[in-house]
Structure 1
Amino acid sequence: MSMDARFEDGGDRPLNLGALDAADLAILSALAQDAVFPITEMRWQPQQRRLGLLINRLRREDSVRTGGPERVQSLLVIDNVLRLSSQGVDRSDTDTILSLLSIAFEPGADGAGHVLLTLAGDGALRAGVEALEVSLKDVTRPYLAPSGKIPKHPD
């Protein structure tokens, strides 16, 4: 008999997860919530139909934090991207630091739709996709969060 994975099973191992449907994407969204990234670490590659972000993800899966909250750099990649639009984001301001609140899928016809990245401060990125395919992969070792705090959200 197989068992479902548990949150605690992640431990110190780096994440490498994919999402092919809205339920999978909800898990990636929870893991990426409160990630921060400089706008310069966002790349849209139209020829490869890929949007990639190098994010500094808050490690919520490590329940035994010894020195305070940890972050880890992760690649968030959206494939099959046909177009990209933004709202409330000045892509020419290279000093901008963005904070990711959630990732959602707005389905369209025949598996197509939009991946919506909601950002703090009323910003958003909207990737029109031919099919939902998103991955989240840790690429560095965890490090102590410079702020030493876990972000709080109003109820």
Structure 2
Amino acid sequence: MADAVKPLRLLAHDPEDLAVLSAALQDAIAKIGDIRWDAQSRTLTIACNRFRWEALGKRAKAGERVRSALQFGDVAGVQARNLRRDAKGAVVELLSIGFEPAQEAPAGVVTLTFAGGGDMRVSVDCLDVALADVSDPWITPRTPGHAE
């Protein structure tokens, strides 16, 4: 399988890098219980099922998903809106990730926007974000669609 798409291992240290991660994670699905904020280690980790946009059409007509981990470092705080932390089994779909710089560079706020109106604001001292695929991909019968 020489033409197989390799697992993603990406880092983001500036807004342009983060835009690449946002594109790779568009339509990723996670459970609320798979979002972990660790104030002591200053990390926010999200385990998700990422749609492999980069593999679409390369091997098969069907799309693929893969288990992935997204981790933010140097996190000063996390705020969520319209995401119920007590509903650990609730499923959320990530639409985009954006960055708003603060007056004191390189700090800022990363915003994760979810389908259905939920969002998460992650205050960071700097952009230190990692994305890694952590499983083999599997075929999914559903390709995410978006209205024009």
Q: Deviations over 1:36-82 (max 9, x none)?
A: 01111111111110000001000011141425110001101111101
2:131 to 123, 126, 136: 136
- Name which of 86, 100, 116 aligns with 1:106: 100
Per the alignment, residue 95 of structure 1 pairs with 89
- Whether the aligned pair in 1 keeps the contact of 2:32 and 2:85 (CA below 8 Å) is yes
- 1:44 is matched with 37
User: Do 2:64 and 2:139's aligned partners in 1 also have CA atoms closer than 8 Å?
Assistant: yes
Per the alignment, residue 151 of structure 1 pairs with: 144
**Match in the other structure for 2:63:** 69
**Aligned partners of 2:26 and 2:19: how far apart in 1?**
10
In the alignment, structure 2 segments of 5+ residues that lack a partner are: none
Residue 34 of structure 1 is matched in structure 2 by 27
Match of 1:123 among 98, 118, 121: 118
Aligned pairs for 1:3-42 (under 5 A) are: 11-42=4-35
Structure 1 segments, 4+ long, off by >3 Å, are none
Inter-CA distance 92–55: structure 2 relative to 1 (3 Å threshold): same
The RMSD of aligned alpha carbons is: 1.5
Q: Across the two proteins, how many residue pairs are aligned to each other?
A: 145
Contact between 1:74 and 1:137, CA under 8 Å: does it hold in 2? Answer: yes
Aligned-residue offset at 1:11: 4.0
Q: Distance in 1 between matches of 2:72 and 2:64?
A: 24
- Secondary structure at the aligned position of 2:16 is classed as helix
Contact 1:82 1:129 in 2 (8 A): yes
The CA deviation string for residues 94-128 of structure 1, in whole angstroms up to 9 with x for no partner, is 22101000011110022101111000000001110
Structure 2-normalised TM-score?
0.93
Query: How many Å separate the matches in 1 of 2:29 and 2:138?
Result: 14
Any unmatched runs of 5+ in structure 1?
A: 1-9
Which shows bigger deviation, 50-59 or 11-20?
Answer: 11-20
Q: Equivalents in 1 of 2:122, 2:62: separation in Å?
A: 34
